[in-house]
Amino acid sequence: MTAAVSDYALELLGIRCTFRAREAGTASSSYTAVADTTLRVRAGEFVSVVGPTGCGKSTLLNIGAGLLAPSAGEVRVFGEPLAGINRRAGYMFQAEALMPWRSALDNVMLGLQYRGVPEGEARAQAQTWLARVGLGGFGDRYPHQLSGGMRKRTALAQTLALDPDIILMDEPFSALDIQTRQLMEDEVLALWAEKKKAVLFITHDLDEAIAMSDRVVVLSAGPATHPIGEFVIDLPRPRHVAEVRTAPRFIELHTQIWGVLRDEVLKGYQQQLRQVA
């Protein structure tokens, strides 16, 4: 093993991502979602990426996961170049990713089964993780029998059960109501504090980003998204997301970051209007 070669768990270096448009005949046949983006996440660091909607945040995350190959640039995982799926990363998706034909417990077991963990052991581990996200008694329920928040918890347990060194999260709580959301955010922070994994957290909610992260990266509006600001969040931990929002330092940081983000949000909005017109 080449451990300690790099301080960084995940590095996206000079990433550029251009999509070819499928429909023939259109004038602009390619679309550059991300351009010249360099983003580094240290081991054990919680980094949030905020940006206007449709700016290519998810593209960036898919590149880090190895689901998408960048057009140019390099991805390094603990110092080693990434080829194919990022095996050291767990990914929590924005959309529903649970298998509807498997019970909650079977869903959490899934990754362990893929890795060839013996059935009994996988079941026991999955049960432990379900209990840790507060769903110990719901293992036999199918996803459609669970509420939205519970499904997200199950997905969280599914991701964490493999004990990944890097956790990628794509607006995981955007579909939840505000109370459930704050509860989940606190739970994720508590789980993260136990093991201190590297987290790359995508969100469009600035409050959420500041409350949870060590560092917030602001992206420009698309196309050709790139980072335009980086802010270290020096709020003391442990934090409770609902309480930290009233701290004077939080408001100060929020004002600073919003100053950078606001122009991009407006730009992004204008572009969307133009596309519709």
Rule CB under 8 A: which residues touch other proteins?
62, 65, 67, 85-87, 89-91, 93, 95-97, 99-103, 110-111, 113-115, 141-142, 144-147, 150, 158, 162
Q: Whole-number minimum distance, CB 71 to other proteins, in Å?
A: 19
Rounded to an integer, what distance in angstroms lies between the CA atom of residue 151 and that of residue 164?
20
Name the residue nearer to other proteins (CB basis): 171 or 264. 171
Smallest distance from other proteins to CB 180, Å: 13
Q: Which is nearer to other proteins, 137 or 248 (CB)?
A: 137
State the minimum distance, in angstroms, from the CB of residue 169 to other proteins. 12
Report, in Å, the least distance between residue 144 CB and other proteins.
4
Burial class (CB within 10 angstroms; exposed 0-12, middle 13-18, buried 19+) of 217: buried
Q: Looking at beta carbons only, is 64 or 268 nearer to other proteins? A: 64
State the DSSP string of the chain. Answer: --TTS-SEEEEEEEEEEEEEPSSTT-S--EEEEEEEEEEEEETT-EEEEE--TTSSHHHHHHHHHTSS--SEEEEEETTEE--SS-TTEEEE-SS--S-TTS-HHHHHHHHHHHTT--HHHHHHHHHHHHHHTT-GGGTT--GGGS-HHHHHHHHHHHHHTT--SEEEEESTTTTS-HHHHHHHHHHHHHHHHHH--EEEEEES-HHHHHHH-SEEEEEPPSSSB-EEEEEE----SS--HHHHTTSHHHHHHHHHHHHHHHHHHHHHHHHHHHHH-
Minimum distance of other proteins from residue 261's CB (angstroms):
27
Q: Phi, psi (5° rounding) for residue 176?
A: -95, 155
Q: Which is nearer to other proteins, 31 or 93 (CB)?
A: 93
Largest CA distance in the chain: 58
Q: In the complex, what is the shortest distance from the CB of residue 68 to other proteins, in angstroms, rounded to a whole number?
A: 10
Compare residues 42 and 102 and give the one whose CB is closer to other proteins: 102
